Structure 1
C-alpha cells in the first residue's frame, strides 16, 4: 500500500515515523516545490538565475528568446524547494549587477515573511493569527444586494450588534453604491448617510472597529472624526488626490482596492494580459506611494477588487491566484460576498441565493492565506472558515 500525503500533515507523519527531531526541518524544506514568479526583471538577470537555479538543483522557466536577450525585460518562473532558494540567495549575495540586489531582498521577504498586523490610529492592533471577518452595512437605497441595505439608524445598530455577536471584527459602512453601472451621489449626501451612523455605532459599541467605504477624502475625514478606524477606498487613492495626504496625516489604515475607471464604466475596462500579475503590480505601486511618505506596511491592506473592472473568468482567476497577493507582505482582504460572478457560476441565481457560493469563496481565501473576508453573512462564513482552519491545522484549535 502506498499513501499520498498532504504537505500540511508531514510534520506529524515524520514525528510518528520516529525520525530524529533535528532532521524534521530538513525533510520539510525538501517536501514542497514553491513556484515563484519574477516580474519584469532584466533579461541578463533571468539568464543568470536560470543557470544558478539549475546548479542548485532547482529550475527556472524563461521565455524562448531570453537566451539571446531579444527583450530588455522579461518575467521568469522559479521552481525550487526552500533548500534550493537558500542556495540561490547565497549566490545572489555575491552579485550586485542587473538588479540582483533587489531580487535578493524580495526573495528573502517571501521566504522569511514577518507576521502581519494592522495598527489603528488609536494604537489598537488587528492580529491575523486567524482569518478575520468584516461585516457589510450599506447605508444606501440601491446596493446590489437588498438584504444589506439598512437605511434607518436603529436598524443599523441592531444588525451591527448581531454581526459583532456573531464574530465580526470590523464593520464596513458605505454610503454610496459601487455596483456596476451605478451613479455617484454627492459628497454631502454620502456624509449625511454615514456620519450619524458611525457616531451612533461608536456610542452603542465603543470598542467596535469601523471601516468607512469611500473614495472621497472629505467623507473619509468626516468619518474618521466621527469614530471610524479604517478607510476602505475602492479606487486605491486614485479617485481623490487628497486621500494620500489624509492617510499620512491621520495615520488611519487604508484598504487599497484594484479598479479601473469608475463603477459607471468599469465593466468596459476588462482587458488584461495576466489579471493576477497586473492587479498585484498595481496594488504594490499604490502602496509604495504611501511608503514613500512614511506610511508603514501595518497601515496598508490589499483588496484585489473582485467584480470591479473584471469579467467572470478574470474574477475566478484572481480568486484562484490569490496566493500571489498574500505573498507580497501586506494583509489581503477578499470581498466577493454575493457578487455577480457567484451568480453566474451557479446558473444565474440572484444575490439572495448566493450564500453557499460566497462561503466557497471565503474558504478559498483561507487556502490562499488571506487575512480577512468582507461578507454580508457573518456567522455562516465565519463557521465555515473556522472549520476549515481546524482541518488544515488541528493543533491550533
Structure 2
C-alpha cells in the first residue's frame, strides 16, 4: 500500500535542485532565483581591522546572513580578525552595495575582493602556441612518460625511442588528453642532472611523439628555461614546472614569450630537501597565497593569467597529513578560479594510507583519488595508468550526467 507523502521529508542536493523544481512545476524563470537563495556560500576574509570586522558582521546580520569573527572582536581587544562570511548571493550583493560606500577599515578593499570573487570566471580551455586546444568540460587525463632511469615508479621509466612511442600510443589510444615528458626525476631526495642531458632526453622524446601523433598535447616537465624553450621548439604545448618559477628566473620569460599554458605547482624547498620536516601554520591559506603571489608575478611579465593551471604539489614539501588535507579541501583551491591539476599517482602518501610500501601496489588508491577529483570537477589528473584512470572518470561522468 502506498504511504502518505506528507509523512516524508527529503533533503535535496544542490546538484538536483533544478530537476526537483521542475517536478514541483515551478516557473522556469524562477529557477536561478531559488538556486541563489538555496546555497550558503562560506567565504573567508583575512586580517580585517577589528572595527571593520564588526561592521561587516552587523551588515551581514541585517541582510539575513551572518559572519564569524574573533571572540574578542566585539570589544576590540584584538587589532584584526579573520572573518568567515555565511550568506547566499543575495546577502553578498546587499553587503557589497553597502561596503562600497565605506572607504575605511579596509572595507572598500574587502568589497573589491568580493566583487572580484563573484565576477571572475575560470577559463574553460587552454590553447597551445601550436594552436592545439584542450577544453575543461570534464576531468582531463595527463599521462606520465619519464625519460629517466630513476623516477620513483619504475613503470614510468621509458628510455628508448621505441619504448617512448609504444607508451605514447597506448596512452593516446586509452584516452589521454596530454602526454607529459620528464627528463629529470624530482622525487624526494633526488639530485639534478645536467641541463644538457635533460634537454637531450626530452627533445628526443617530444620530437618522436610529435612526428607520429600530431594532435596530442604534450607537456614538458622541467623547471629550466632553456629546456622548456627547446621542448616548445620541438613541438611541446605546455610547460609543467614543479618550482613555480623559483629555480630559474628566466622561465617566466619563456612562458610569457611563447604564450604556452603553464602549470604552476606549489613546492616548499627543493626536491633534495623538501621532505625534511615541512611545516605550515595554515596549509590551505599558505598554498593559496603562494598561487596568488606567483600569478601576480607572472602577470608582471605580461604572461596571460588564463594560461595558468594550478597544482597544489602533493608530496612536494608536504607531510602525509598535508597531502590528505589538500585532497579533502580541493574545493577551496577551486575558489581561486583557475584550472586545477592533481598529481597523486602512486605517491607515497597513498602507500601510507593503505600500508603499501611499493609504488607498484598503489593503483587502487590512485583510482580512488581520481574518482574524487572527477566528482568534484577537478580539471586534470596526472597519472601513470591512463586506461584505468580514464575509465574511472568516464564512470563518474556518466553518473554526473544524470543531473
In 2: Cα distance, 1:386 partner to 1:40 partner:
43
Instruction: Say if 2:364 is the partner of 1:364.
Output: no
Per the alignment, residue 126 of structure 1 pairs with 134
Per the alignment, residue 348 of structure 2 pairs with 340
Instruction: Say if 2:99 is the partner of 1:99.
Output: no
Please point out which of 19, 29, 34 is paired with 1:27: 34
Per the alignment, residue 222 of structure 1 pairs with 230
Question: How high is the TM-score relative to the length of structure 1?
Answer: 0.94
In 2: Cα distance, 1:263 partner to 1:392 partner:
38
Report the secondary structure of 2:240's partner residue: strand
Q: What is the CA distance between 1:71 and its match in structure 2?
A: 4.7
In 2: Cα distance, 1:40 partner to 1:366 partner:
34
For structure 1, list consecutive stretches of 5 or more residues without a partner in the other structure. Answer: none
Please point out which of 21, 31, 34 is paired with 1:14: 21
Report the secondary structure of 1:301's partner residue: strand
Report the secondary structure of 2:142's partner residue: strand
Per the alignment, residue 65 of structure 1 pairs with 72
Q: What is the CA distance between 1:358 and its match in structure 2?
A: 0.9
Question: Greater Rg, structure 1 or structure 2?
Answer: 2
Q: What is the CA distance between 1:69 and its match in structure 2?
A: 4.4
Please point out which of 212, 216, 241 is paired with 1:208: 216
Instruction: Say if 2:198 is the partner of 1:190.
Output: yes
In 2: Cα distance, 1:92 partner to 1:54 partner:
14
In 1: Cα distance, 2:374 partner to 2:86 partner:
24
Q: What is the CA distance between 1:318 and its match in structure 2?
A: 0.8
**Which contiguous aligned blocks of 4+ residues in structure 1 show a shift greater than 6 angstroms?**
none
In 1: Cα distance, 2:267 partner to 2:107 partner:
32
Per the alignment, residue 236 of structure 1 pairs with 244
Per the alignment, residue 58 of structure 2 pairs with 51
In 1: Cα distance, 2:276 partner to 2:155 partner:
27
Q: What is the CA distance between 1:278 and its match in structure 2?
A: 0.6
Per the alignment, residue 273 of structure 1 pairs with 281
Per the alignment, residue 375 of structure 1 pairs with 383
Q: In terms of mean alpha carbon deviation, does 29-38 or 192-201 score higher?
A: 29-38
**What are the superposed Cα offsets for residues 202-260 of structure 1, whole Å, 9 maximum, x if unpaired?**
11112221111011111111111111111111010001111112112222121110111
Q: What is the CA distance between 1:269 and its match in structure 2?
A: 4.7
For structure 2, list consecutive stretches of 5 or more residues without a partner in the other structure. Answer: 1-7
Q: What is the CA distance between 1:262 and its match in structure 2?
A: 0.9
Distance 1:242 1:70, change over 3 A: farther
**What are the superposed Cα offsets for residues 296-333 of structure 1, whole Å, 9 maximum, x if unpaired?**
22211110000010011100111111111111121111
Instruction: Say if 2:11 is the partner of 1:4.
Output: yes
Question: How high is the TM-score relative to the length of structure 2?
Answer: 0.93
Distance 1:74 1:389, change over 3 A: farther
Q: Is the 8 A contact 2:41 2:86 kept in 1?
A: yes
In 1: Cα distance, 2:278 partner to 2:359 partner:
22
Per the alignment, residue 137 of structure 1 pairs with 145
In 2: Cα distance, 1:368 partner to 1:343 partner:
23
Q: In terms of mean alpha carbon deviation, does 198-207 or 1-10 score higher?
A: 1-10
Q: Is the 8 A contact 2:284 2:326 kept in 1?
A: yes
In 1: Cα distance, 2:252 partner to 2:47 partner:
27
Q: What is the CA distance between 1:74 and its match in structure 2?
A: 3.6
In 1: Cα distance, 2:93 partner to 2:177 partner:
38
Q: Is the 8 A contact 2:256 2:304 kept in 1?
A: no
**What are the superposed Cα offsets for residues 24-58 of structure 1, whole Å, 9 maximum, x if unpaired?**
22221122221111134444432222121111111
Root mean square deviation of aligned Cα: 1.7
**What are the superposed Cα offsets for residues 134-176 of structure 1, whole Å, 9 maximum, x if unpaired?**
1111111011111111111111111111111211111110011
Per the alignment, residue 257 of structure 1 pairs with 265
